[in-house]
Amino acid sequence: MLSKDSPKISKADLDFIVKNKIAVLGICYGMQLLCQLYKGKLHTSLQREYGHTKIYIFKDSELFRSVGNNLNVWMSHGDSIDSLPEKFNSSSKSLGGVICSFENEKAGIYGLQFHPEVHHTDSGRSILYNFLFGICKVKNLFEPESFIESKTEEIRKLAGKQTVICALSGGVDSSVAAVLVQKAIGENLICIHIDNGLMRKDESRKVIELFGKHLKINLKFVNASELFLKRLEKVLDPEKKRKIIRKTFIDVLEKEAKKIKNVKFLVQGTLYPDVIESVSQGGPSATIKTHHNVGGLPEKMKLKLIEPFWELFKDEVREIGEKLGLSRNFIYRHPFPGPGLAIRILSDVTKEKLDLLREVDDIYISELKKNFLYEKIWQAFSVLLPVQTVGVMGDERSYENVVALRAVTSSDGMTADFFDFDKSFLSSVSNKIINSVKGVNRVVYDISSKPPATIEWE
């Protein structure tokens, strides 16, 4: 049930909103809160619903206009509505009889138990479109061109002629941020690429070629791999790994920043999901994991942050990147975590384990591209498990490592479902990994969704 610590809106504030003819849409917990405020009843379900659920729409509603009568939707809840508030009508139920949406059309109040904002809900965009444009009569949407224009002007005014540094990992977010800031201030931007030794195969070489040679961005390269590995020695806890990597990253960045005159600002490619998962947003929401680029910047650096994308999702940043002229091949690269392969090794991190995992991952990603599967997948990667198993290789017994393969579909990383490979692909890539990478004798495939699992394993 809703606890006393759950975030709330007062009934008086809600009445004021409704009185001023402002439409309200409650999603998941929001629907439960609306139910409670209007004196409906909730109960804690014996069976929680996470992932796909089929619902049946049985009432004509502006919210469900032109979306059909049956939808596969994405659920993530433990409480359900027992009885509706007065003057509210349900408009859909799950096959198990759970109320999945309600509305008080006259008051302009709507509730959805499922998540229309995620990639895995059928017609989710259409439902939100109906609410925004049909019910709320909104006139405009986010446009990448106007975002670029306004952010460029904002950054230009903020930075003036002062030097700005960018922590350029080579991932999509920091890269698009770098190109955007360069558009605003030109040569006053200096990008620093730190090789932490935890990257994919040939990652630093590719970053230097793309940004230093092709895009002509002022780029400084720092090889700090030995320092990162030394500090990570014998560390097992994933959150400790993240914090060590973040602190070491800041230490190296601070040292390099001191070598550059008149540095006043630091650019980071922080996205909204990073903020959500790293910081509790004014309520009892859990910190899921620490992101390397959220918080932790020491006051002594005396640098102000420029985070142009902190309110955006990955798909929006990709749209911006395309408008800025970055190639589709680069823009649609799969996300890669700031802590890199350290959180894909589920044990202590060593150079030998990193080299093994790099080879496995390179084979996996190469096979995805070769089979035209790469762009169908939001994120794919390999994980080195902390177990060894018995195998038979030739006439000899082996006792070697197990690697897990992960591939998910998503639009923003907030929810995800595993990609349904053909058996022949999994068999082929497994054989190739085992035959090519010394030290691996078993490959498994992860078929869990987010939620309840996360995309990364650590």
Residues annotated as catalytic are 28, 115, 117
CB atoms within 10 A of CB 260: 12
> Parallel, antiparallel, or unpaired for β 219-223 and 189-195?
parallel
Between CA 56 and CA 59, with CA 58 as vertex, the angle to 5 degrees is 140
Query: Residue 120: phi, psi to the nearest 5?
Result: -90, 5
Residue that the structure tokens 């619902």 belong to: 55
Q: How far apart are CA 245 and CA 233, in angstroms?
A: 12
How many angstroms separate the CA atoms of 277 and 415, rounded? Answer: 12
Whether the CB-CB separation of 138 and 132 falls below 8 Å is answered with yes
What DSSP state is assigned to residue 294? S
* Residues near 164 by beta carbon (within 8 Å), at least 6 away in sequence: 181, 185, 188, 189, 190, 263, 264, 265, 266, 267, 306
Phi, psi of 26 (to 5 degrees): -100, 130
In the beta sheet, which residues pair with residue 80? 43
Going by C-alpha positions, the residue among 422, 419, 372 that lies closest to residue 120 is 419
Kindly tell me the sign of the dihedral angle through the C-alpha atoms of 127, 128, 132, 135: positive
Overall size of the chain counted in residues: 458
What phi and psi, each to the nearest 5 degrees, are found at residue 434? -65, -40
